[in-house]
Amino acid sequence: MENTNLPTHVGIIMDGNGRWAKAHGVPRVMGHNAGMQAMKKIVIASSEMGIKYLTVYAFSTENWKRSTEEVSGIFNLIVKYVNSELEELDANNVHINIFGDYSMLPKASVDAIDKMIGRLENNDGLIFNIALNYGGRDEVARSVREIAAQVAAGEKAPEDITEEDISEHLWSGSAHFNVPDVDLIIRTAGDFRISNFLLWQSAYSELAFTNTLWPDFSEEEYTSILENFGSRERRFGGRIGEDK
């Protein structure tokens, strides 16, 4: 694939693990395991194609409503992922950030994530952001609370608050990881919504939906979606031929 007109930042809503498991007659956690393998392939493909930022929706603030068995299985897979993939991630120069407060996860998962972040912190290839215990509305609320604290401390006047201030205090912002707004959001498994994912950062994102269940999502389909993105005219509220 030609490295022209690629999105700088791709976001993926990895949907369909449960439906894949049901279709294959296996427990839901096996669907999440298959989804983890698909994620591995897409991370490496992104790195090889020159995508700079990749953000995946791994576990939302709403996912705590799921069964204890399923939630525990997901957290166990985090440990498995780190133990099995850390060497390859490092070899591919991948850097990892976590969007969300992962301190609420079980200690084994927190320790595995800390290990992964520490090992990869000096890498400067693909910036791989994992949205974990993450919600878009929660993220905006956190940003507003941080700005409110500045106002309360007399560091900022309310009338001086800008959109840039809110962006700065998001997980993606310069106060945390300094990741640009998302150019393209891909959702698998046939639903047409973004489900509280990168709400502020997706104001001008291109959207791509596929019926493919996430564990079946291939590098070839990913490449096709990226090529389609490259053919789109992005106007950012302007008109063709005008500045955005």
Reported as a single tens digit per residue, the pLDDT across 223-241 is 999 999 998 877 666 665 5
- Lowest mean pLDDT of 37-51, 102-116, 230-244, name the range: 230-244
Other Cβ atoms less than 10 A from the Cβ of 146: the count is: 16
For the chain, the average pLDDT equals 94
In 107-235 the beta strands, taken as DSSP E runs, fall at 127-134, 184-187, 206-209
Between CA 101 and CA 91 the distance in angstroms is 27
Q: In what order do the strands lie in the sheet with 53-60?
A: 95-99, 127-134, 53-60, 9-13, 184-187, 206-209
What average pLDDT does range 93-104 have in this prediction?
96
Catalytic residue annotation: 15, 63
For CA atoms 184, 189, 209, 216, the dihedral sign is: positive
Question: In this model, does residue 105 exceed pLDDT 70?
Answer: yes
pLDDT tens-digit series, residues 159-169? 999 999 999 99
Q: Which CATH architecture has domain 9-135+183-228?
A: 3-Layer(aba) Sandwich (3.40)
More confident of the two residues 87 and 1:
87
For 156, the token pair is 């900022």
E strands, the chain, are 9-13, 53-60, 95-99, 127-134, 184-187, 206-209
